Amino acid sequence: MQMKPRVLLYPCPVALVTCVDEKGAPNIITLAWVGVASSEPPILSIGIRPSRHSFNLISKTKEFVVNIPTAEILEQTDFCGMTSGREVDKFSKTGLTPLEASNVKPPLIKECPVNMECILRQVIELGTHHLFLGEIVSVHIDSEILDEKGNIDYAKANAICYMPEEYWSSGKKIGSYGLAKPEVDLR
């Protein structure tokens, strides 16, 4: 059936994006409008509404960190998307732990096993959201989610999948990239 134009993309990643104001006070915003824009240089896109506090912070300080939460901190993750840093100190209220980043001022979130430090390269005005393109300048991974080869064990990463407007757990591995045999006819 045909429907009115709307975004119906799933699953979307969930990111806890950290940023700071000009005095260094940190904030956290939960975003699902996040994607990979380029592999090299590594660039992420994040869509943010101009009304959001973090929109102003990132516009001014031009730095942010994309932290990937686990399902264990689902409630804190949802909370950071439902409240404004203008009114609430989200680190204090959620109990999430800020850690110093390597190359940028916004903190990493300790409870997130992957943290990507980004420098803002470009902002594209689109409509309800502006698209911020951030180049990843440093990456941190919690060694607890790595397997013996040093790759991420996604069972341990325990990611949240955003299926608008629901949160889902990740299921099971069903294959690896390159599983198809191009010489075999699939029909």
Nearer to a copy of itself, 22 or 185 (CB): 185
In eight-state DSSP terms, residue 67 is E
User: Residue 95 is inside which H or E element, if any?
Assistant: none
CB of residue 148 to a copy of itself, shortest distance in Å: 15
Nearer to a copy of itself, 22 or 183 (CB): 183
DSSP H helices in 26-118: 53-61, 74-82, 90-94
Nearer to a copy of itself, 22 or 166 (CB): 166
CB of residue 100 to a copy of itself, shortest distance in Å: 12
CB of residue 156 to a copy of itself, shortest distance in Å: 11
Cis peptide before 42 (omega within 30 of 0): no
CB of residue 26 to a copy of itself, shortest distance in Å: 16
Nearer to a copy of itself, 25 or 124 (CB): 124
CA-to-CA distance for 31 and 66, rounded, in angstroms? 9
CB of residue 184 to a copy of itself, shortest distance in Å: 9
Q: Which residues does residue 125 pair with via DSSP β-bridges, in sequence order? A: 130
Find out whether 11 and 18 touch, Cβ atoms under 8 Å.
no
CA-to-CA distance for 123 and 114, rounded, in angstroms? 24
CA distances from 91 to 2, 21, 74, 77 (A): 43, 14, 15, 11
Nearer to a copy of itself, 60 or 89 (CB): 89
Nearer to a copy of itself, 8 or 22 (CB): 8
CB of residue 14 to a copy of itself, shortest distance in Å: 9
Q: Which residue reads 């409509």 in tokens?
A: 127
